[in-house]
A and B are shown apart, each in its own frame.
Chain A
Amino acid sequence: MTTTAPAPVPMPWRLARVEDGWLETRTARTVVLDVPGWPGHDAGQHVDLRLTAADGYTATRTYSVASAPEAGRLVLTVQLVGGGEVSPWVVEEARAGDELEVRGPIGGWFRWSAEMLQPVLLVSGGSGIVPLMAMLRERSRTGTTTPFHLVHSARTPDHVFYTNELHALAVSSPGLRVDRLYTRGGLPDDARTPGRLRPEDLPAVDAFDAPPLVYCCGPSGFVETATRILLDKGHDSGAVRTERFGPSS
């Protein structure tokens, strides 16, 4: 008799309770969620988040996990989108004890784990840093020394998420390089004039000892520009993984 694989079961919606939260910038909030039964995830994956109004109306959106894999707990960072349905609740309304639901982890491609040994180039625009931060945190948690290079683009220094932690990681982690670039206005002693991503902002494939795996995340326009530059600089399109947030414009 042949055995057939059991039918896959749907991923359940799990109750999540806001445990803590703080502003990353004036318009983005990090929330720590206590999620009983959460199995953990891989760095780079995302979750579906569902909010329910008193009359049963629901709204669901997708958010990357910012924290390193951990059972029972998730950290998200949400950028306010004006006129949006879900992000204003997270950024302006959420407080400790509030209840919502999450489902996941989702996404099998845009993820990194410490067994992956090739060098890593991370490229992010704005809130696109969220899943890449999970990778940096996982690298730090596991103590691997795989070379990592983050190039992060934000409007101004005030728009950078995780500022203190990025600084601390950059000065304390061998093999990690962090470059920030600003599109609207930088710091007084910046060598780079502010502006959108330019070819010289991204390393060529031969700047690494071995061709890196590249993770690129941000608004769609940013990802288009960044991936075009990466291919021009010799990176193989099969080595470049992308995640796009938000609309195409």
Chain B
Amino acid sequence: MNVVTRGFAGRRGPSNPRIPPGQYLETDFPVLSAGPTPGVRTEEWRLDVVDTDGTRRSLSWADLGALPHEDLTTDIHCVTKWSKLDTTWRGVPLEAVLDGDGAVATHVLVHSYGGYTTNLPLEDVTGGRAWVATHYGGKPLTPEHGGPARLLVPHLYFWKSAKWVRGLELLTEDHLGFWEQLGYHALGDPWREQRYVGD
């Protein structure tokens, strides 16, 4: 479409190849969530891993803490248009959490405290592309930002980085999660601008 908005010049800095299409650079850290922030104490926190054959393991906070952690610096992109560069995180690579589970799985449905879910292809959360993050900016993750632990999948729109993570359900087919059933894209690649269903 050939629309020009009269009187609009835009506020442009030097164009930044790290900002995906339709996004703008944000320095704050806005919050997106569908309901109240659940208060989950680490003493009661659990992360359940359910494999395709129904076998279930349940990790406690101490179990998670005992797994190898990584520190990483990455860019994040929210579907509401902001991108934030060079955010620093500490977390456990998802492969270490899965520990061999999901051998025949193709997808994972991530469950959160508060009842929300989001779906991801397994290949997008393995190979060093996803973490269970416990620290942001050198400090324990605050509840507002998903603490005590959230998924971190920085190469996809940030709603895929499920806050308050409590379960990983391994699947042999894709099941749409909470946001995805409500019109958001099943995969959510910011570089292909996959915001909403059909993008």
Partners in one complex: yes
Bound complex: CA of A244 vs CA of B34, how far in Å?
Answer: 9
Check if B103 is an interface residue, CB within 8 A of chain A.
no
Report yes or no: A227 in contact with B8, Cβ–Cβ below 8 A: no
Kindly identify which residue among A100, A228, A240, A241 contacts B5, using a CB–CB cutoff of 8 Å. Answer: A100
Report yes or no: B7 in contact with A62, Cβ–Cβ below 8 A: no
Q: Among residues 82 to 99 in chain A, which have CB atoms less than 8 Å away from a CB atom of chain B?
A: 83, 85, 89, 93-94, 97-99
Check if A242 is an interface residue, CB within 8 A of chain B.
yes
Residues of B within 8 A of A (CB-CB), count: 38
Q: A99-B4, A242-B36 are in contact. Are A85 and B10 (CB under 8 A)?
A: yes
Q: A15-B3, A99-B3 are in contact. Are A57 and B12 (CB under 8 A)?
A: yes
Bound complex: CA of A242 vs CA of B26, how far in Å?
Answer: 22
B86 → chain A closest CB, angstroms: 17
In the complex, chain A residues whose CB is within 8 Å of the CB of B9: 53
Q: Which residue of B lies closest to A110 (CB)?
A: B34
Bound complex: CA of A52 vs CA of B36, how far in Å?
Answer: 36
Kindly identify which residue among B4, B5, B6, B30 contacts A246, using a CB–CB cutoff of 8 Å. Answer: B30
In the complex, chain B residues whose CB is within 8 Å of the CB of A99: 3-6
Q: Which residue of B lies closest to A226 (CB)?
A: B36
Report yes or no: B7 in contact with A242, Cβ–Cβ below 8 A: no
Instruction: Give 1 or 0 for each of B52-91: 1 = CB within 8 Å of chain A CB.
Output: 0000000000000000000000000000110000000000
A→B interface (CB under 8 Å): 7-11, 13, 15, 51-54, 57-62, 83, 85, 89, 93-94, 97-101, 106-110, 220, 224, 227-228, 230-231, 237-238, 240-242, 244, 246-249
Q: Which 6 A-B pairs have the closest CB atoms?
A: A108-B182, A247-B28, A227-B36, A8-B198, A10-B198, A93-B7
Additional A-B contacts beyond A85-B11, A107-B183 (19; CB < 8 A) = A9-B198, A15-B3, A52-B8, A57-B10, A58-B10, A58-B22, A59-B8, A61-B81, A62-B80, A106-B196, A220-B31, A224-B37, A230-B36, A237-B36, A238-B115, A242-B33, A242-B35, A244-B32, A247-B28
